[in-house]
Structure 1
């Protein structure tokens, strides 16, 4: 069974976290396993996201721009790298992949990028790539996906989009079949 938790923060901003209930429903009141170096209090949706990641479960976080979704992504990336697992971070466009690659290569040692135009360090433990590239990897059954800890899909609002949503949907379905 999946649980959807709708949360409003102090500014009445809407956030939602979807996660499977089987292993995660008892997490409320727990603390994340990893220490975070932030100079602010985390919102409830961020805490839930971190706790779901600690349980190695899938989740979908929906929150407005600048709500703090990246803290959950950073937590997951660090967790994967510390555990010797691969992590993939997808974006809908090459420009955003380039931007995220520049941002992440200043934070992490083993970062690569794959877009339709550019490939940098494709054997890195952490890859930033367009969703279309990941879809092709999933459909081709490449061994590059072995030992994957997490796939982070940025801009997931494309799911259900008549023009491009199919890429996200096929990727997610294909990833589910691999695990």
Structure 2
């Protein structure tokens, strides 16, 4: 199976939820999120929500604990491990953020299965606040992802149809 690369989205694929909404909902900030949503781009909103969480006493550990509770279907865990065992290279291409993805993957023992994670950067600043930014994904990468979703699955070997 050498040479086969499988691209995964993260939200609503590896996890059953949108990770941003999951954190906001679980920490009780849904109403504020819904009020601000029409006023700014998504990643700007998420960075603002992280400021609100921090300002209201929520720590990075509180956020990480919520992420560790995010459910993963046993079948997706099995599919990831099986594809990796068959020699497929696994990558994540997502509009989530790196902190959320890495926290969830590490908790479920899956971080070592992925050779690359392409997503929005996130880091904890010197005040302990999670900062989330948008990164521009190249149009070529988006086109490849779209083709993989729409065209390629029926043509890939069984190992790649996860």
Greater fraction helix: 2
Where is the strand percentage greater, Structure 1 or Structure 2? Answer: 1
